[in-house]
Homo-oligomer: A and B are copies of this chain.
Amino acid sequence: MKDKQLTMQDIADLAGVGKSTVSRYFNGGYVKEETRRKLKEIIEKVDYTPNTIAQSLKATKTKTIGIVAPCLDSITSSRVMMALDEYVRNEGYVTIIINTNHNEMRELTSIEHVWKMNVDAIVLIATNITEAHRQLAHKIDVPMLFIGQVFSDGYSIVNDDYHAGFDMGEYVAKKGHMDITYVGVNASDRAVGIERKKGVMDGFQTHGVSSINTIETDFTFTHSQDVISAYLKKHIPSVFICATDTIALACYKEVQALQLKVPEDISIVGFGGYESSSVITPSLCTVRFDNEMAGKMAGEAIIKWINGEIIPKMQSVGYTIIEGESVQSI
């Protein structure tokens, strides 16, 4: 029965399951244990390899990869998408991007939309993975890679948010700061809202700082201004640890509005490493994630996956602390 004519549908028919289940089996997606055993048995019997599957699928390739992004005005996602685009272009693929404007329903329908456009693979720049995402990911029968958040049932490229947070916490603690305010974002964004924050907390704790004030904002400049401005009326900390550079820039603005000086009166740090953070005076102390590397890694992974090669379940991207001039030694 070994035959290059054999299709994924044939395997599906033999196992009495849907084609998408067979695809998931080969792509490492979720398959019920019982079905997995049955598929394994059949595949061994017919002496089948994922490469044969990949080969038999080739005919329908559109050479198009769909990217679903939460927005177009984040420097981080833009850098990732441009590097990803560049990588896959050189491999003969075109990427098409759909913007969801941070709307979960749109995100889910956009994933379905690109899928129905017969893309060869889907990349989701993820901010929040819900049960609906999981269900959809199991239905999608093309490779689907998550960037920015760990997708436990599939494949992800993520920033090493915990360690970046830890190193930053440690760095600021070593400068002698004790009165710390962390300006974070909602926990629905696991990577930034939980991992990054936990890293910062643990970094401080290792150096004996266990009490940290925390306030919450969102990813926008203007809302962050409001939140920080209100907070500064009640308390002026020795340092603001901001979950993103955009939030840190809003801090600069509000601190300067009170005629206070950075870093003499208040130190400020961010996460992001945008160009604007280096041009401001004093330049911002921040963490630069290697977004270009994330894009390239994503491109490499997705092409390997399309070609039926094995890829790591999770890859994390490095970072660098840029000291800048916005943290005072106490």
- A residues neighboring B (CB under 8 Å): 64, 71-73, 75, 78-79, 81-82, 85-86, 89, 94-99, 101, 106, 110, 113-114, 117, 221, 246, 249-250, 252-253, 256, 274-276, 278-281
Contacts and interface: CB of A to CB of B under 8 A. Distances in A.
Copies of this polypeptide in the complex: 2
A274 B95 CA distance: 27
Contacts of A281: 252, 256, 280-281
A162 to B, nearest CB: 27
Contact of A96 (B89, B96, B221, B280): B96
Contacts of A249: 275-276, 279
27 contacts: A64-B113, A71-B82, A72-B72, A72-B81, A72-B82, A72-B97, A73-B82, A78-B78, A81-B99, A82-B101, A85-B99, A86-B101, A89-B101, A94-B98, A94-B110, A94-B113, A95-B98, A95-B99, A96-B114, A117-B117, A249-B279, A253-B279, A274-B276, A276-B276, A276-B279, A276-B280, A280-B281
Contacts of A110: 94
Contacts of A98: 94-97
A292 to B, nearest CB: 11
Given A96-B96, A99-B95, A253-B278, A78 B85 contact: no
Contacts of A89: 101, 106
Contacts of A96: 96-98, 114, 117
A97 B94 contact: no
- Which of A95, A97, A117 is packed against the most chain B CB atoms within 10 Å? A97
Contacts of A276: 249, 274, 276, 279-280
Shortest 6 CB-CB contacts between residues of A and residues of B: A276-B276, A97-B97, A72-B78, A73-B78, A96-B96, A249-B279
Contact of A73 (B75, B113, B117, B278): B75
A279 to B, nearest CB: 5
Contacts of A86: 101
